[in-house]
Structure 1
């Protein structure tokens, strides 16, 4: 995992609610200054204490325990604080702190945060790959661009357009599934424009998607559905318990159907997936329930959605080869750790399996 968005943070984080004395606000674009050729930091505010006001578009927990991005009408900037109050998309805040940098990217090392309320989420700025790569002052801002996938390995993929290539990096902490992405696909990619120091290319601009909906296949046509936020309402069910699974499903037209596929798995990851329909329970949230009375160690499951253009997508994107797992019941710590000395592998019988345990910390 690349950790170039993680930086130092104040040991004492002062957090207040609206009503604090008015601070002098600095435009983020004035702080975000880089050499247009080399990408070296040229901010006139380096080392100074500033206050910026804007809207959160990357909350902590997206990439790691403390990285946030906040954006005003002029641009965006990163700050790192694992001790900050929980913030979410659309939260308007004021951040006060010293201007510094980490990994070649300008950031604020915060000493105080003022929460001002919640409003509409930040909309990404649409630009070509060429325009994005051509201006280092895009760094810190929420951007969106379109290109053809030319490379994919692990969490890194490249998209190309008009002779220019953009490197994109999907942090594993985001939970974004890239299973459906293939070389030659057209994708729209959104996320903060960030600095990455490449050993060969030098200081370059990357884009880091935040969530599944930041990756949209075939954006120039009828887009395929986006399935994200797959979650069990209860991740520690008993064998007798029904299991409710939720997912956020969106499309540029309409969703015609959604289904939850599941199988009762004794531990060998074989068997046929059955399905139950998922229903819209409000907004873009869909829900389906796996019947109780299962006999295996775990339930394997995935979500499928079809739009009104008869385009189907799944999460994980490589389902049914890939799936989510939820363990049934609880195992004792002794059983999980037990290894048969006469066995041939030297491994626990639970090796490679999802389990639930309980105990005292």
Structure 2
């Protein structure tokens, strides 16, 4: 899609420095679908020094991610095109670029603050790199130049599920194939709810946006307008003779209340790491947060107890339900038996005190059955909401003897590979052999198996003091609990509790006979079923 922009050329003479290839933002950002399907989003120019042109969309004097004053950043977009593959994060960072002076010295050398003002079309030279999966370019100590002025493109209107998708098990799955093209692009989400609002430290907030289907994206506080510590965006004031702590964004920010229904929210798509890489939205200014609309209730903190019920047990569904512009009139749980079943039965929930509501789902009676459920809450104005949406309900599975095998965690009906138990801490009674460890000579993380068949292996993320750092290959352990989570669609156990049984046990044989091309292509019954397991490939040729 093309968009005409007001563009005024400026004729000027620029001193000639070392010559590097002039490449487009699309050249830097583009990866084909096959690469993205393999979670390979690394720029083809990674590590290269290039010259780029783009329209500045963010004021670097409001950049707020560096409390130490070690770097400053902005965003630019392509001057001729809008939409996918048109945005880029630009930084000055002496440490990353190898510059020997201070950040102020590098700013002076690059004319960063002078030239990277919103609407300027700038030409600049730097090194393409990545941080937590987020492509960026770090400027060399050569002056940038203004080559024109432009209107900033309107935000690209899109949806949260382009970037993050509800996995039906309480988690969110990163949508690399559809989302990666908008990295660095200014976008707009419409008709979204504010969720998960909580203070972070003394000056910051954690909060997210969620749509009606339960798809959720985090807010990244790259701008001083939504981050309250004054030592993150005071460089411009200091460099112009002001004092430390003087900031272009002095007003204290507090996000909208959980449950606020907003007409729109705008920002630039970035990647951030918080227990796993995910797309996030970096709001530029307070004008990017649209007005609130009439809000239905907000449903959060949904849980089922017991976590792993038997086929005959009743399960209590609990949730926190609030309404910011009225009162919660009623709530109900809708449940069905059998994965994908839409034959939902309604059960009323009752208010058990404060904002807590509970309802009870009866046992399905069949071992291994999957139970699907969602909640509908209605306020006193008749505004109702499904959480999550009925098309992507939450799930749990019943087991007469509890979880006694890795396959009960790994084997999944979800085509994205997410475990049914994702996001939950589950009690287990699994005996497994350690196949790889975090020792310096080994894989760098722990994997265990309890057999050689499909779904028999899983990776473990070590935590300080949990004992997994002391494990060796051949150790037999009994895992008694762990939190299941998805790390870039890679199912792992976190924060496990285990008992040591014995050492020097024989390892399971490596699985053979799999086609590496099937794994590379992510064929579900091959790639997903043998995730976390020891494999061996024979007679491999180079393609």
TM-score, normalised relative to structure 1:
0.51
Tell me the distance in 2 between the aligned counterparts of 1:39 and 1:219. Answer: 37
In the TM superposition, what whole-angstrom CA distance separates every residue of 1:165-201 from its partner, at most 9, and x where no partner exists? 11113346224765471222122221111111121xx
Q: Tell me, in whole angstroms, the C-alpha distance in 2 between the residues paired with 1:191 and 1:184.
A: 20
Does residue 1:159 correspond to 2:209, yes or no? yes
Structure 1 residues 39, 66: CA separation in 2 closer, same or farther (over 3 Å shift)?
A: farther
Say which SS state the counterpart of residue 62 (structure 2) adopts: coil
Task: Give 1:100's aligned residue.
Answer: 129
Q: Please, which runs of 5 or more residues in structure 1 have no aligned partner?
A: 1-15, 222-361
Tell me which residue corresponds to 1:19. Answer: 13
- Partner Cα distance (1:153, 1:171) in 2: 17
For 2:24 and 2:288, how far apart are their aligned partners in 1? 26
Contact 2:41-2:180 within 8 A present in 1 as well = no
TM-score, with structure 2 as normaliser: 0.34
Q: 1:17 to 1:152 in 2, by over 3 A?
A: farther
* Counterpart pick for 2:274 among 198, 214, 220: 198
Partner of 2:88: 77
Q: 1:37 Cα shift?
A: 4.9
State the alpha-carbon separation in 2 of the partners of residues 110 and 152 from structure 1. 35
Cα distance in 2 for partners of 1:66, 1:144 equals 24
SS of equivalent residue, structure 2 residue 60: coil
User: Structure 1, residues 309-353: CA drift from partner, whole Å, max 9, x if none?
Assistant: xxxxxxxxxxxxxxxxxxxxxxxxxxxxxxxxxxxxxxxxxxxxx
Contact 2:47 2:127 (8 Å CA) reproduced: yes
After superposition, what is the alpha-carbon deviation per residue over 1:133-180, rounded to whole angstroms, capped at 9, x for unaligned? 331221111111131112212322111112211111334622476547
8 Å Cα contact 1:68/1:80 also seen in 2: yes
Structure 2, unpaired ranges of 5+:
1-9, 65-70, 93-102, 165-174, 200-204, 226-248, 296-543
Mark the CA change 1:116 to 1:168 in structure 2 (over 3 Å): closer, same or farther: same
Are 1:125 and 2:156 an aligned pair? yes
CA–CA distance in structure 2, aligned partners of residues 39 and 193 of structure 1 = 17
- Tell me by how many angstroms 1:117 deviates: 3.0
Change (3 A) 1:17 1:220: farther
Residue 186 of structure 2: aligned partner: 142
Distance 1:189 1:177 in 2: 19
State the partner residue of 1:181.
Answer: 256
Q: How many residues align?
A: 204
Q: Contact 2:129–2:137 (CA<8 Å) still a contact in 1?
A: yes
Closer, same or farther: CA 179–124 of 1 in aligned 2, 3 Å: same
Aligned-pair RMSD on alpha carbons? 2.9
CA distance in 2, matches of 1:168, 1:75: 21
Larger radius of gyration: 2
**In structure 2, how many angstroms separate the alpha carbons of the residues matched to 1:180 and 1:44?**
38
Inter-partner Cα distance in structure 1 for 2:11 and 2:74: 18
2:145 aligned partner: 114
Mapping of residues 1-361 of structure 1, within 5 Å: 18-20=12-14, 24-33=21-30, 36-37=36-37, 40-64=40-64, 66-72=72-78, 73=81, 74-81=85-92, 82=103, 83=107, 84-86=112-114, 87-111=116-140, 112=142, 113-133=144-164, 134=175, 135-146=179-190, 147-154=192-199, 155-161=205-211, 162-171=213-222, 173-174=224-225, 175=249, 178-179=253-254, 181-187=256-262, 188-199=264-275, 202-218=276-292
Q: How far apart are residue 24 of structure 1 and its match?
A: 4.9
SS in 2 for 1:136: helix
Instruction: Show the counterpart of 2:401.
Output: none
Does structure 2 retain, via aligned residues, the 8 Å contact 1:29–1:137? Answer: no
Cα displacement string for residues 112-148 of structure 1 (whole angstroms, at most 9, x for unaligned residues):
4221132212321110111243312211111111311
Question: How far off its partner does 1:61 sit?
Answer: 1.7
In 2, Cα distance between equivalents of 1:186 and 1:177: 22
